[in-house]
């Protein structure tokens, strides 16, 4: 991922998402969407990690 042609590190991106989700001015205005396919085990671990990281 890039912002203004500069790479964005994963920790910086995660911190920004957490700030947005916890911002009272944005409550109800943003909704993270996570996908995974248990049948072929595609994206399941990142999905579970995101649930732990971002949901209360």
pLDDT per residue as tens digits for the range 12-36: 988 988 888 888 898 888 888 888 8
Q: What pLDDT score was predicted for residue 1? A: 67
Average pLDDT for residues 1-21, to the nearest whole number?
Answer: 86
Mean of all residue pLDDT scores within the chain: 85
- So what's the pLDDT on residue 54? 84
User: 0.95 cut: is pTM over it?
Assistant: no
pLDDT at 5: 85
DSSP per residue over 11-34, as a string? HHHHHHHHHHHH-GGGTTT-----
């Amino acid at each position: 991922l890039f912002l203004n042609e500069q790479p964005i590190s994963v920790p910086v991106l995660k911190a920004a998402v957490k700030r947005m989700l916890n911002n009272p001015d944005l409550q109800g205005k943003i909704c993270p969407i996570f996908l995974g396919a248990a049948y072929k085990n595609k994206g399941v671990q990142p999905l579970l990690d995101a649930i732990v990281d971002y949901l209360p």
